[in-house]
Structure 1
Amino acid sequence: WDCRFLAWWILLMGFYSDESTKSVYLVFLCSYDYSGYGASTGKPSEYNTYYDIEAVYDCLKKEYGIGQEDLILYGQSVGSGPTLHLASRLDKLRGVVLHSGILSGIRVLYPVKVTLWFDIFKNIDKIKQVECPVLVIHGTADDIVDFSHGKRLWELAKEKYEPLWVKGGGHCNLETYPEYIRHLRKFVNAMEKLARERATKAPQVPPSSMGEVKHNKCLRFGK
């Protein structure tokens, strides 16, 4: 697998509710290639995509000191499979975004009512195990992964965030709609606010019982 840190992304959080000022957040993006794709070696398979995303998370945790409570997982189309695989195993994630996600591999081809043993990317089962807020984005005119997949994923989510149903949106063009980035910014803003609220409510450790605190070393990124 190949974990590549793409960029620091400035998100200008626009005017929401009765807010009168813009908030600026710096978001660290991490992208990776599945086994057998791009710069990654190995063979492409369902289970290798699971190993890949676990390896990326392990890298973020061990090499960069990033906790799951600071992570928002983003999965698009088939990428919703490994995203929900990891999300179902981590109970303190900040959030999950499912962009044109699938219920399962077989269900993209046939509207089966039960999950078959040989099905792949069984998101319909795994999303029920996700504890964090889930944002679902789907186009109403998606001709590859039917709109019903997005609706059902949202219905099955424990912590539902306001979904974005892009009217007339297809499978690969949702990013071109103005409401896409607005809603995504709104979600990141809401998750940041929720994280701060949780931090203030967390029990404080008494000074007398505090031991030595080890700080993460300063990381320097190469050009």
Structure 2
Amino acid sequence: MNGLSFSELCCLFCCPPCPSRIAAKLAFLPPEPTYDFHADGTGRYTLSLTDRAEWQYSERDKENVEGFFTRTNRGNRIACLFVRCSSTARFTLLFSHGNAVDLGQMSSFYLGLGSRINCNIFSYDYSGYGVSAGKPSEKNLYADIDAAWLALRTRYGISPENIILYGQSIGTVPTVDLASRYEVGAVILHSPLMSGMRVAFPNTKRTWFFDAFPSIDKVPKVTSPVLVIHGTEDEVIDFSHGLNIFEKCPRAVEPLWVEGAGHNDVELHNVYLERLKKFVNVELVN
């Protein structure tokens, strides 16, 4: 049976896990919120950060960060953040962050990344994360990114060819889903997973009907250029996931395999920024 162990077979046929349970086990660990939005009376919100957000810039730099709420087609009000990093940016990253962080914790990273690769960054918190309402679930993930995509297109008037979808870890799940339905400027998949079952049971060779996050089956439908990034020593999502996702991408560019990097330290390696700069400012422009 495709190399499945006895315990896996027992799990599959005696008590097959439902997608939401796989999702809960693998994915959703929302932290205590590290930020809040305060209405300024004009329909906009100012960003208020707790100490745990570890903001690394000046108070004045916060003026480049605009927060607001939008609503998903599943009825949840989710928080969005637009970080103006560059006045000359051609591209805006629609960034779907990883697990166990929220927009407050990511805000400094966004400002630093965007200014270094000359992109603005738009991000959102999943249902149940930060000050977004609702509960995390696979269906909500897809609804969340759809609402973020619509807000980015309508509120800021940014066209698809100038949007780069960036997903990190669990954020690659909604990123791949959206990219399989819309053509965009490019897609970046940072530590992607093939599917929930393949993370939980590494010997899984096929997609079961109850599997969660089946990105491996959606990636072949992605028509945009795709850059895959993965650490070779990833202890959470094995390096093999990045390799297999890369092989299934019709328009994959040269990937970035970060030697010795784990799941949470890829960004600390110099090759990370170098590869992103080349991709955004050279390969996509030419």
Indicate how the Cα distance of structure 1 residues 4 and 113 shifts in structure 2: closer, same or farther if over 3 A, else same: same
Instruction: Report the equivalent of 1:127.
Output: 219
Displacement of 1:77 in angstroms is 0.7
Could you list the runs of 4 or more consecutive aligned residues of structure 1 that deviate by over 3 angstroms after TM superposition?
9-12
In structure 2, relative to structure 1, the CA distance for the partners of 1:162 and 1:2 (3 Å cut) is same
Q: CA separation of 1:66/1:152 partners in 2, compared to 1, >3 Å: closer, same or farther?
A: same
Cα offset, 1:63, TM superposition: 1.4
What RMSD over aligned residues (CA atoms) do the two structures have, in Å?
Answer: 1.8
Does the 8 A contact of 2:82 with 2:121 survive in 1? yes
The sequence identity of aligned pairs, in percent, is 47
Q: How many residues align?
A: 182
Which position in structure 2 is the counterpart of 1:186?
278
In structure 2, what is the Cα distance between the partners aligned to 1:130 and 1:81? 13
Q: Given that residues 11 and 25 in structure 1 are in contact (C-alpha distance below 8 angstroms), is that contact kept between their aligned partners in structure 2? A: no
User: Cα distance, 1:126 vs. partner?
Assistant: 0.6
CA shift for structure 1 position 65: 1.0
Residues 1-223 of structure 1 mapped to structure 2, 5 A cutoff: 1-9=78-86, 26-91=118-183, 93-110=184-201, 111-194=203-286
Higher relative contact order (CA 8 A, sep 6+): 2
1:26 positional shift: 3.5
Contact 2:231–2:258 at 8 Å: present in 1 too? yes
Give the secondary-structure state (helix, strand or coil) at the position aligned to 1:135: strand
| CA distance 1:182–1:11, shift in 2 (3 Å) | farther
| Structure 1 residues 143 and 9, CA gap change in structure 2 (3 angstroms) | farther
Instruction: Give the conservation status (yes or no) of the 8 Å contact 1:95–1:191.
Output: no
Contact 1:10–1:25 (Cα < 8 Å) also in 2:
no
Shift of 1:67: 1.1
How far off is 1:175 after superposition?
A: 0.4
Q: Give the whole-Å Cα distance in 2 for the aligned partners of 1:11 and 1:28.
A: 9
| TM-aligned CA deviation for residue 9 of structure 1 | 4.7
TM-score for both structures, normalised by structure 1: 0.78
SS of the equivalent of 2:123 reads strand
Amino acid at match of 2:240: S
Unaligned runs of 5+ in 2: 1-77, 90-115
